């Protein structure tokens, strides 16, 4: 394991071993030294789960039966994502950090034995497989009370470097097919730890949404010779009414056919397949638009909005020229006291009903007056 590596924007990565064999990676912009030892007793690692095929939809379901016991809304003084202070030993041995990424203690997916292969899909008789993959936790800041929207531009830049580094490293694992950095924010959507953090899932199978995006992009390419996402972006720029924010390298818009009351897609103007391909200029311009978009979201009702912020990347081994990197932020809040629920039509039929025009929510987002 390379311990120290120099990344973009002056960020140093420092890999350390945790007491149970998991890895923690410190991403630092000030060249800090990271020597703290994990003082916790060793802990047995959970077994790998199962992948079972739902033949009705041809989708893999990951079963991770041990996760029922995972940490659930602990009080602040027991937060496992704060830096270690004195005897309160947390997931992060150091007494301070900028950004860390560590292997999830309760992973839904785990690295498999070598020689693992995804079984062929074969109806109800499809073979069960180990739930191969990687699950990591990304801590955005040591400050328990902050949220992503409170970070400085420098901090967001370091988070971006961490996402890029993990995408690059995870892409090298032969069992990984798709890498998915994301953040769940808000108890309303089931967040079990309030400390500002995200996660990275590296799947050993194509997730259903990626499969579907790849199918649509392939059809569009076969019919027109053009890249679907590029056409879509051109259309949003032409229509203009749903644009929420932009700078020289990025654009943020409410998509024409949004599914959620507040939904923002953020895309680089020069298209790339994944985070590792972003130019230095695009990387440096990301913090500004990311913070603006999340601050606008919190500003709509002047309350912290529950959201899912999801990086869609081209898969690791296929469709590299057809799918484009973009960041989808979706919020289920439709009014201060009201959430949008995925009930019968959405959940069982996949048919989304939207109560709000995308043009209207784009307008609300643009109208938020930001503190400078």
Binding mask 255-294 for its own copies (x = CB under 8 A): xxxxx-----------------------------------
- For its own copies, the closer of residues 191 and 272 by Cβ is 191
Q: Contacts with its own copies in 107-166 (CB under 8 A)?
A: 108, 123-125
Task: Identify each DSSP E strand in 150-260 by its residue range.
Answer: 178-185, 197-203, 243-246, 250-253
Size of the residue set binding its own copies (CB under 8 A): 83
**3-class secondary-structure state, position 24:** strand
Cα 36 to Cα 295: distance, rounded to the nearest angstrom = 35
Cα 214 to Cα 324: distance, rounded to the nearest angstrom = 10
Exactly one of 72, 86, 87, 248 binds its own copies (CB under 8 A); which one? 72
> Is the Cβ–Cβ distance between 236 and 358 less than 8 Å?
no
Q: What is the DSSP string of 274-287?
A: SGGG--HHHHHHHH
Cα 94 to Cα 164: distance, rounded to the nearest angstrom = 23
- For its own copies, the closer of residues 4 and 342 by Cβ is 342
User: Which of 197, 220, 312, 326 is flagged as catalytic?
Assistant: 197
> Is the Cβ–Cβ distance between 119 and 127 less than 8 Å?
yes
Q: Contacts with its own copies in 13-42 (CB under 8 A)?
A: none
- Provide the phi-psi class of 170: left if phi over 0, else alpha when psi is between -120 and 50, else beta: alpha
Cα 176 to Cα 173: distance, rounded to the nearest angstrom = 6
Q: Is 195 a catalytic residue?
A: no
- For its own copies, the closer of residues 280 and 350 by Cβ is 350
Exactly one of 26, 27, 102, 201 binds its own copies (CB under 8 A); which one? 201
Q: Contacts with its own copies in 202-231 (CB under 8 A)?
A: 203, 205, 207-210, 212-213, 215-216, 219-220, 223-224, 228-229, 231
Residue 340 near its own copies by CB under 8 A: yes
Q: How far is the CB of 226 from its own copies (least distance, A)?
A: 8
Q: Which residues are catalytic?
A: 197
């Amino acid at each position: 394991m390379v311990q120290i590596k120099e990344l973009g924007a002056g960020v140093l990565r420092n890999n350390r071993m945790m007491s149970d064999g998991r890895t923690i990676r410190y991403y630092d912009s000030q060249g800090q030294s990271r020597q703290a030892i994990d003082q916790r007793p060793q802990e047995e690692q959970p077994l790998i789960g199962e992948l079972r095929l739902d033949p009705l939809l041809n989708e893999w379901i990951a079963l991770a039966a041990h996760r029922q016991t995972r940490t659930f809304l602990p009080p602040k003084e027991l937060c496992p994502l704060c830096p270690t202070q004195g005897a309160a030993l947390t997931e992060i041995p150091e007494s301070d950090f900028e950004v860390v990424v560590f292997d999830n203690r309760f992973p839904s997916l785990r690295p498999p034995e070598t020689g693992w292969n995804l079984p062929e899909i074969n109806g109800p008789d499809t073979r069960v497989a180990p739930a191969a993959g990687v699950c990591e936790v990304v801590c955005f800041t040591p400050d328990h009370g902050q949220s992503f929207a409170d970070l400085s531009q420098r901090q967001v830049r370091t988070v971006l470097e961490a996402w890029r580094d993990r995408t690059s490293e995870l892409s090298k694992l032969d069992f990984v097919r798709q890498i998915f950095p994301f953040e769940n924010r808000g108890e309303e959507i089931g967040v079990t730890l309030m400390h500002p953090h995200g996660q990275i899932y590296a799947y050993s199978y194509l997730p259903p949404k990626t499969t579907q995006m790849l199918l649509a992009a392939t059809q569009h390419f076969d019919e027109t010779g053009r890249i679907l996402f590029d056409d879509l972006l051109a259309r949003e720029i032409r229509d203009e009414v749903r644009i929420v924010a932009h700078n020289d390298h990025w654009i943020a818009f409410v998509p024409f056919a949004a599914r959620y009351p507040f939904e923002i897609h953020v895309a680089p103007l020069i298209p790339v397949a994944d985070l590792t391909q972003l130019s230095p200029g695009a990387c440096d311009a990301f913090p500004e638009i990311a913070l603006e978009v999340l601050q606008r979201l919190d500003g709509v009702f002047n309350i912290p909005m529950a959201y899912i912020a999801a990086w869609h990347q081209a898969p690791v081994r296929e469709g590299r020229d057809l799918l484009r990197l973009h960041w989808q932020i979706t919020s289920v809040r439709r009014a201060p006291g009201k959430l949008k629920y995925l009930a019968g039509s959405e959940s069982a039929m996949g048919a989304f009903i939207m109560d709000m025009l995308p043009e209207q929510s784009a307008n609300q987002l643009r109208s938020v007056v930001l503190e400078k």
